[in-house]
Amino acid sequence: MLEKARVAGNKPCLLTVDIGKFATKVCFRRRSCVRIAVMLHEKIKGELKEAMKEKNAVKLSVVRNLLAAFTNEAVTRGHKPDQLLTDEEALAVIKRLAKQRQDSIRQFTAGGRGDLAEAEQAEFAYLETYLPTMMGPEEIKPVVEKVIAALGLPAGRHGATTKADAGKVIGAAMKELKNRADGAAVKAVVDELLK
């Protein structure tokens, strides 16, 4: 998509080129280009109009829920309701909503309500498109082993026998992995290594 806009003053036209899911390229005078990252919150706001035009009920519902959750998060953090969240804050909100959908799917399936579980699954699938791909246990294991060594736990069953030791390892590993791994997957790897 290429659009032209007039810039205030004597400057020539500004060219904006959409170059990806969350980035835009802005060219001044067609010589110098600057890549501007579009915030996730802003991108989702733009998708509200797309969902309305497409008349996609599931997408529209998810986007509206996301925007409401973003507003609640902004107010909770002491910002104005219309202030945009950073990408880290927006990802935290999306993860929380995705986790709620997973819990709902499990509960509806256990309760024999397949129709409600399907609706939640459709919403979860859409939320998943915004989440970064999570690391698998094979990728998490070397990071956890490095954390265990950094904490100075003795070798040979790593010496961590208490829940407090395991908690320290999980906490340090989650800081190292940040948004790249699910907490439950990290806990499973830590439990396996500390048996």
Domains of the chain: residue spans and CATH: 2-37 (no CATH), 40-128 (1.10.1510.10), 137-193 (1.10.10)
pLDDT at residue 36 tops 50: no
Q: Are 174 and 186 in contact (CB under 8 A)?
A: yes
Mean pLDDT, residues 5-15 = 44
CA distance 80 to 116: 35
**Strands, E assignment, the chain:** 2-5, 14-18, 23-28, 32-37
Query: Which region among 22-31, 117-126, 129-138, 150-159 has the lowest average model confidence (pLDDT)?
Result: 22-31
C-alpha distance from residue 58 to each of 6, 92, 98, 143, 169 (Å): 37, 21, 14, 38, 39
pTM of this structure? 0.65
Residue 170's pLDDT band (cuts 50, 70, 90):
confident
Kindly state the average pLDDT of the residues 177-190.
84
What is the pLDDT averaged over residues 39-48?
88
Chain mean pLDDT for the chain: 79
